[in-house]
Amino acid sequence: MLNKKTSLAPKMGMLILMFFVAVAIFAPIISPYDPNTITSPYLKPSREHFLGTNDIGQDIFSELIYGARLSLFIGFFSAFIVTLVGSVLGIVSGYYKGIVGRIIMGVTNIALVIPSLPLTIVLAAYMQASIWNIIIAICATSWAGTARIIRSRTLQIRELPFIKIEHALGVGNLQIMFAHILPNVLEVILIKGTLAVSSAMLTEAGLSFLGLSSSTAKSWGSILHYAFFRNGVLNNYWWWYMPPIICISLCVLGFMLLGYHGKGKNKTTNKMELT
Amino acid sequence: MKAAAILKRIFEYALILFIIITINFLLTHYMPGDPILHLIGEEEYYNLMASNPQVIEEMREKYGLNKSTLEQYWIYLKTTVTLNFGYSYIYKQPVLDVLLFRMKWTLMLLIPSVIISAFLGAFLGIKAGWKPGSQFDILTTPLMLLINTTPTYCISIFVLTFFSFTMGFFPFGGMTSGGLSGLDKALDIMWHMFLPLMILVISKTSYDYFIMKSSVIEISEEDYILTAMSKGLSDRDVLSKHVLKNALLPYITVVCMQLGFSVAGTMLVEVVFSWKGMGTLIQRSVQVKDFPMLQLSFLFISVCVIISNIISDLLYIAIDPRIKEGESRAQ
Amino acid sequence: MLAIKDLSVEFMTDHKVKAVDRVSLNIRKGTNTTIIGETGSGKSVLILSILRLLPPSAKITGKVIFENSDLFQMSKKETELIRGRKISYIPQGSGNALNPLLIIGYQVAEPMIVHKMITKKQAPQRSIDLLKRFNLGNEERRIHDYPHTLSGGMKQRVLVAMGISAGAGLILADEPTKGLDKSRVFMVVDCFQQLKSETILCVTHDLDFAQVIGDYVAVMYAAQIVEYSKKDDFFSKPLHPYSEALINSMPENGLKALKGFAPPHDTYSYSGCRFFERCSFKSDRCRSDPPLVEFGIRQVRCWKYAD
pLDDT of residue A261: 59
Cross-chain Cβ contact B294/A267 below 8 Å: no
For residue A3, pLDDT beyond 60: no
Dist. CA B270–CA B277, nearest whole Å: 7
Residue A124 with chain B: CB contacts under 8 Å: 286
Q: Are the beta carbons of C114 and B322 separated by less than 8 Å?
A: no
pLDDT at A273: 27
Confidence of residue A259 (pLDDT cuts 50, 70, 90): confident
Helices B95-130, B135-149: inter-axial angle, 10-degree rounding: 150
The answer to whether A68 touches A26, Cβ cutoff 8 Å, is no
Rg of chain A over CA atoms, in angstroms? Answer: 22
pLDDT, one tens digit per residue, over A174-212 is: 888 888 889 888 888 998 899 899 999 998 998 888 888
For chain B, the residues whose C-beta falls within 8 A of a C-beta of chain C are: 222-224, 226-234, 237, 242, 245-246, 249, 319-322
More confident residue, B3 or B266: B266
Burial of B318 (0-12, 13-18, 19+ CB in 10 A): exposed
So what's the pLDDT on residue B139?
A: 94
- The string over B287-317, giving b where at least 16 C-beta atoms fall within 10 Å of a residue's C-beta and e elsewhere, is eebbbbbbbbbbbbbbbbbbebbbbbbbebb
Inter-chain touch B227–C82, beta carbons under 8 Å: no
Q: What residues in B contact C48, CB-CB < 8 Å?
A: 226
- Among the residue ranges A32-46, B312-326, C89-103, the one predicted with the least confidence is B312-326
Q: Which residues pair with C66 in a beta bridge?
A: C2, C69
- CB contact at 8 A, A17 and A254: yes
In the predicted model, what is the mean pLDDT of residues B282-305? 86
Distance in angstroms (rounded) separating the CA atoms of residues A89 and C302: 60
- What is the pLDDT, as a whole number, of residue C105? 93
Half-sphere exposure of B117 (CA within 13 A, CB side): 28
Average pLDDT of A133-149?
88
pLDDT of residue A163: 83
Q: What's the pLDDT at C240?
A: 93
The secondary structure of chain C, three-state, reads CEEEEEEEEEEECCCEEEEEEEEEEEECCCCEEEEECCCCCCHHHHHHHHCCCCCCCEEEEEEEEECCEEHHHCCHHHHHHHECCCEEEECCCCCCCCCCCCCHHHHHHHHHHHCCCCCHHHHHHHHHHHHHHCCCCCHHHHCCCCHHHCCHHHHHHHHHHHHHCCCCCEEEEECCCCCCCHHHHHHHHHHHHHCCCCEEEEEECCHHHHHHHCCEEEEEECCEEEEEEEHHHHHHCCCCHHHHHHHHCCHHHCCCCCCCCCCCHHHCCCCCCCCHHHCCCCCHHHHCCCCEEEECCEEEECHHHCC
- In this structure, of A54-63, B317-326, C183-192, the range with the lowest mean pLDDT score is B317-326
When mean pLDDT is compared across A224-233, A255-264, B4-13, B239-248, the lowest value belongs to A255-264
Looking at residue B100, what is its pLDDT?
92
Q: Would you call B232 and C98 a contact, using CB atoms and an 8 Å cutoff? A: no
Under the banding of pLDDT at 50, 70 and 90, the label for residue A53 is: confident
Sorted by sequence, the CB contacts under 8 Å of residue B104 that are 6+ apart come out as: none
| Three-class SS state of B27 | helix
Q: Does B311 touch chain A (CB under 8 A)?
A: no
Model pLDDT, residue A6: 54
Nearest chain B residue to A269 by CA: give it.
Answer: B211
Mean pLDDT of C112-128: 92
In chain C, what percentage of residues exceed pLDDT 90? 49
The per-residue pLDDT for B330 is: 37
CA separation for the pair A206, B156 (Å, rounded): 13
The model's pTM:
0.85
Taking the C-alpha atoms of residue C151 and residue C136, their distance in angstroms, rounded to an integer, is 11
Q: Which of A22-31, C10-19, C53-62 has the lowest mean pLDDT?
A: C10-19
Res. B1 pLDDT band, cuts 50 70 90: low
**3-class secondary structure, A213:** coil
Instruction: Name the residue facing B232 among C80, C95, C97 (closest C-beta).
Output: C80
B87 sits in which H/E element: strand B87-88
Residue B9 pLDDT > 70, yes or no?
yes
Q: Give A231's contacts (C-beta < 8 A, 6+ positions apart).
A: A55
What whole-number distance in Å separates Cα of residue B286 and Cα of residue B278?
12
- The Cα A133–Cα A139 span in angstroms is 10
Q: Which strands form C298-301's sheet, in the order they lie side by side? A: C87-90, C170-174, C199-204, C32-36, C216-221, C224-230, C298-301, C292-295
Longest dimension (CA), chain B: 87
Lowest mean pLDDT among A3-17, A124-138, C290-304: A3-17
Q: Please give the pLDDT value at position A4.
A: 45
Cβ neighbours of B195 in A, within 8 Å: none
Mean pLDDT across chain B, nearest whole number? 84
Instruction: Using alpha carbons, list the distances in angstroms from residue C47 to C16, C25, C42.
Output: 20, 11, 9
pLDDT (0 to 100) of residue B68: 79
C110, B234: Cβ pair inside 8 Å? no
pLDDT bin (cut points 50, 70, 90) of residue A270 is: very low
> Which of B25, B154, B271 should we substitute to test contact with A (largest number of A Cβ atoms within 10 Å)?
B154
* Residue B31 DSSP one-character state: S
Calculated CA dihedral for residues A260, A201, A118, A122, nearest 10 degrees = 150
Residues of C with CB under 8 A from a CB of B: 48, 51, 53, 80-85, 88-89, 91, 95-102, 110-111, 114-115, 146, 148, 159, 162, 166
Task: Please check the confidence at residue A269 and state whether its pLDDT lies above 70.
Answer: no
Compute the C-alpha angle C268/C175/B244, nearest 5°: 100
Question: Between residues C6 and A1, which one has the greater pLDDT?
Answer: C6
What's residue B28's pLDDT? 75
Nearest to B130 by CA among B240, B207, B232, B251: B240
In chain B, residues with a C-beta closer than 8 Å to the C-beta of A109 are 12
User: Per mean pLDDT, which range of A81-85, B41-45, B313-317 is the poorest?
Assistant: B41-45
CB atoms within 10 A of CB C226: 25
pLDDT tens, residue by residue, C161-198: 999 999 889 999 998 888 788 777 888 888 888 888 88
**Amino acid letter, A194:** T
Distance CA C110, CA B227 (A): 11
Of C84, C95, C146, the CB nearest to B321: C146
Q: What is the CA radius of gyration of chain C?
A: 20
Q: What mean pLDDT value characterizes chain A?
A: 83
What gap in Å lies between CA B44 and CA B61, rounded to an integer? 17
pLDDT attached to residue B323: 66
Neighbours of chain A (3+ CB pairs under 8 A): B
| B123: pLDDT strictly greater than 80 | yes
Query: In this predicted model, which residue has the larger pLDDT, C203 or A141?
Result: C203
Of the CA atoms within 13 Å of residue C87, those in its CB half-sphere come to 27
The beta-carbon neighbor of B264 closest among A109, A118, A267 is A118
Q: Answer whether B230 sits within 8 Å of C95, measured CB to CB.
A: no
Q: Which residues pair with C294 in a beta bridge?
A: C299
pLDDT, tens digit, 9 for 90 and up, residues C128-146: 999 998 888 888 999 999 9
- Spell out the domains of chain B, with CATH numbers in brackets: 2-32+85-330 (1.10.3720.10)
Q: Mean pLDDT over residues C80-84, rounded?
A: 93
- Read off the amino acid at residue B12: E
Label residue C212 exposed, middle or buried (CB < 10 Å: 0-12, 13-18, 19+): middle
Asked if B155 and B202 touch (Cβ cutoff 8 Å), the reply is: yes
Beta bridge partners of C218: C35, C228
The domain made up of A11-270 is a member of CATH 1.10.10.10? no
Q: Do residues A58 and A240 make contact, with C-beta atoms less than 8 angstroms apart?
A: no
Rg of chain B in Å (alpha carbons): 24
pLDDT at C14: 67
- Return the higher-pLDDT residue of A121 and A262: A121
